[in-house]
Amino acid sequence: MADDTSKKPLLVVKDLQVSFDTASGEVQAVRGVSFHVSPGETLALVGESGSGKSVTAQTIMRLNPEPPARIKAGSVMLDGVEVTKADDKTMQDLRGKTVGMVFQDPMTAMNPTMRVGRQIDEVVLEHNKIANSEAWERAVRIIDAVRIPNAADRARQYPSQFSGGMRQRGVIGISIANVPKLLIADEPTTALDVTIQAQIIDLLLSIQKEERMAMIFITHDLGVTAQVAHRIAVMYAGRIVEQGDAHTIYHHPVHPYTKGLLKSVPKPGQDRSVDLYAIEGAPPNLIDPPKGCAFSPRCEKCMRICKELQPPATDLGHGHVCSCWLLDPRAKAVADAVGAGAGTSSEEGGAR
């Protein structure tokens, strides 16, 4: 799978920090996030609600209203443009042309008072100097490309005349109208039924392959992630705690949160006489995040240092990066002792 991704990244996010200034204080939604995506590659941002995955994605398009959002630090290089410093005009050129976005809820992502074809050709006309009739023809072709039958008739209909799955196809049509280099899909199948979800994933993957788009796929569903992602970044409390290629993350996870998340999902043939593995507790409040590792209050292998200092990112080779104090050479003794005692560490062991 990695073969069809070129080496030069299209998007490089470096130490991005985004906060929201609210009445109850500064919510540190994204607290230093770094990743990159190359053409033809799918990066999945995985995490629970409030982990900062959507805020990260929306910052790439500068869709968060500023204020209350504030980019505190870091850089987002998208196709040679520094997004964090770009003006409105530059951003407008980027949106819909270089980067397209598919949102979670197909019921609200479309304008209910506009014909579906018009919503697509609007995006085409915004970035191309062509005649209205030509743009409409292109919209019809796009509707056909996202596998909506009777495209010419459907283009003249309104979103309310579409079913949920068809609406999401329409939203995908809008987002790919100008063949963007980067497609951001924010929980694109979460609101859909499983059979429709499979159809939409098929569609997104085939479009991506044809056009060699880079894709950021945001989801909390570990099953969907496994099906779409080349690489995975696991987010927790505004940081990426672990990232690597899909096989590594699923089969050789290192971070206790990644491990816990994978274990807490029931698998076919799971022993039903035993309780599900559950990560106790809840994610921290990001108005006042913990001083050390944000996962430490829930971590079975928490050490003293975890509560005091943020763990540094450790490069484990082949793009596998993990931020955990257990990877520190000095932690090995502790990790072995705790891991053996708790009896929950998986085959790979917590530290190397």
Partner 1 sequence: MSESLGEATGVPQAGAPAATATKEPYLEVANLKKYFPVGHHRTVKAVDDVTFTVYRGETLALVGESGCGKSTLGRTILGLYKPTSGSIKYQGKEMSGFHSADRKAFARKAQMIFQDPYASLNPRMSVGDIVAEGLDIHHLCKTEEERDARIEELLHLVGLNSEQADRYPSEFSGGQRQRIGIARALALNPEFIVCDEAVSALDVSIQAQIVNLLRRLQSQMGLTYLFIAHNLNMVRYISHRVAVMYLGTIVELGDAEEVFQSPAHPYTQMLVDVLPVADPDVPRKVLARESGEMPSPIDVPVGCPFCTRCPHRTERCEKERPHLRDMGDGRQVACHLFD
Footprint of partner 1 on this chain (CB under 8 A)? 48-49, 147, 163-166, 193-199, 201-202, 220-227, 229, 246-247, 250-251, 260-262, 264-268, 270, 272-280, 282-283
48 vs 328, beta carbon nearer partner 1: 48
- Sequence-ordered alpha helix ranges (H) in 212-286: 222-228, 246-251, 256-264
Helix axes 132-145, 164-175, angle to 10 degrees: 130
Catalogue the long-range contacts made by 264-270 (C-beta closer than 8 Å, 24 or more residues apart): 265/222, 265/223
User: Do the beta carbons of residue 188 and residue 45 sit within 8 Å?
Assistant: no
**Shortest gap between Cβ of 267 and partner 1 (angstroms)?**
7
Q: Which of 191, 333, 319, 342 is nearest to 260 (CA)?
A: 342
17 vs 219, beta carbon nearer partner 1: 219
User: Do the beta carbons of residue 46 and residue 232 sit within 8 Å?
Assistant: yes
129 vs 272, beta carbon nearer partner 1: 272
User: Do the beta carbons of residue 243 and residue 35 sit within 8 Å?
Assistant: yes
**Shortest gap between Cβ of 246 and partner 1 (angstroms)?**
4
180 vs 256, beta carbon nearer partner 1: 256
**Shortest gap between Cβ of 286 and partner 1 (angstroms)?**
13
Q: Dihedral of CA 329/334/338/340: which sign? A: positive
User: Do the beta carbons of residue 222 and residue 261 sit within 8 Å?
Assistant: yes
Task: Read off the DSSP letter of residue 108.
Answer: T
166 vs 303, beta carbon nearer partner 1: 166
236 vs 325, beta carbon nearer partner 1: 236
User: Do the beta carbons of residue 254 and residue 346 sit within 8 Å?
Assistant: no
